[in-house]
Amino acid sequence: MSKGSAIVTGSAQGIGRAIALRLASDGYDIAVNDLFFKENQLQELVGEIEGKGRKAVAIVGDVSKEEDVQNLVDKCVEELGELSVMVANAGIATPNTNIVDTPLDVWQNYLSINLTGTFLCYKAAAKQLIKQGKGGRIIGACSGAGKRGPPVYGSYATTKFGIRGLTQSLASEIGKYDITVNAYAPGGIDTQLLRDGDASISAALGGPPGTFLKILEARSVLPKKLGTPEDVAALVSYLVSEEAGFITGQSVSLNGGSFYD
């Protein structure tokens, strides 16, 4: 029996993919989303989800465009039934430079995809959940960089700080509808996105490739030095559960103890 439908944006790979698979295992039917050139990856993911006995649909679109986000919600409801969960996971993390060297178009691209994209997903999901009148869960992608702004991450960190504020504000506004709004705030998570960005970030820090990864690994107080996408997915699984119904407005850290809130 389905728990309802869940949307996971940016789910062609990495953390988003792991979240989609975990929520499918939890009993949700899943609408997976990413950009059009990742449609083959999305279709493969749909096959895996269906292999778990759940329904799934791939809906391509750009989260920075309001019409694409609204289409995502509408098609999800049309094909999978009422919306239960929105996971606004899509975002970018590279390139990274010092603030004084950051071109305006790079800055604006970060804001458009990471922050405006999350805003549009939150807005469309909230409207749908309020309309349905049965409560629900909205989840965003914050970051450790959304709690402490690191060097060469100025554009990225700004968007993640913004997501914390957006999460708190929306939680305050729609809690009366039994809708919770939370975010996950990971530290070093071993994804291809992290490894792709290592060289440029290491160079900006004045070191050879691998410098950034070593810094992240050194910060963990646990034997496990980098987290996995499945670690993030497990947190999301809890935050969308009935047991987490009294948690809202939070950006929950998972960082191996690299810093404490």
- Residue 204: predicted pLDDT: 79
Asked if the structure places residue 209 within a domain, the reply is no
> Per-residue pLDDT tens for 204-226?
788 999 998 999 999 999 999 99
Instruction: Note if 156 is an active site residue.
Output: yes
Q: What is the mean pLDDT of residues 161-168?
A: 99
Give the pLDDT score at 47. Answer: 99
Predicted pLDDT of residue 83: 99
What integer is the mean pLDDT of 49-56? Answer: 98
Q: What is the pLDDT of residue 251?
A: 99
> What confidence category does residue 94 fall into, taking pLDDT thresholds of 50, 70 and 90?
confident
Checking if the pLDDT of 55 tops 90, the result is yes
Report the pLDDT value the prediction gives residue 195, as an integer from 0 to 100.
Answer: 86
Contact (CB, 8 A) for 252 and 260: no
Q: Which residue has the higher pLDDT, 171 or 198?
A: 171
The answer as to whether 193 is a domain residue is: no
122, 153, 160, 184: the active-site residue: 160
Q: What is the mean pLDDT of residues 8-16?
A: 98
Tokens of 55: 């329904």
Least confidently predicted of 24-33, 194-203, 219-228: 194-203
Q: Which has the closest alpha carbon to 20: 187, 139, 118?
A: 139
CB 228 within 8 A of CB 14: no
Q: What is the mean pLDDT of residues 11-33?
A: 99
Give the pLDDT mean for 176-197.
Answer: 93
Q: For residue 128, what are its two tokens?
A: 């749908």
Band the pLDDT of 196: cuts 50, 70, 90: confident
Q: Is 11 helix (H, G, I), strand (E, B) or coil?
A: coil
- Choosing from 28, 122, 156, 184, the catalytic residue is 156
Beta strands in the chain (DSSP E): 5-8, 29-32, 56-58, 83-88, 136-141, 179-186, 251-254
| pLDDT for residue 198 is more than 90 | no
Per-residue pLDDT band for 230 (boundaries 50, 70, 90) equals very high
**87: pLDDT confidence band, cut at 50, 70 and 90?**
very high
Query: Beta-carbon neighbour count of residue 187 at 10 Å?
Result: 20
Asked, for residue 237, whether it belongs to a domain, the answer is yes
- Domain membership flag for residue 69: yes
122 catalytic, yes or no?
no
Query: Is 80 exceeded by the pLDDT of residue 143?
Result: yes
Amino acid at 63: V
How many domains in the chain? 1
Domain membership of residue 239 (yes or no) is yes
> Which pLDDT value is given to residue 193?
82
Q: How far apart are CA 100 and CA 2, in angstroms?
A: 50
Full residue range of the structural domain in which residue 166 is found: 5-188+228-254
Q: What is the pLDDT of residue 97?
A: 83
* Positive or negative: CA dihedral 34, 28, 233, 87: positive
CA–CA separation, 36 vs 119, rounded Å? 21
pTM: 0.96
CATH of the domain at 159: 3.40.50.720
For the CA atoms of 22, 23, 24, 27, the dihedral, rounded to the nearest 10 degrees, stands at: 130
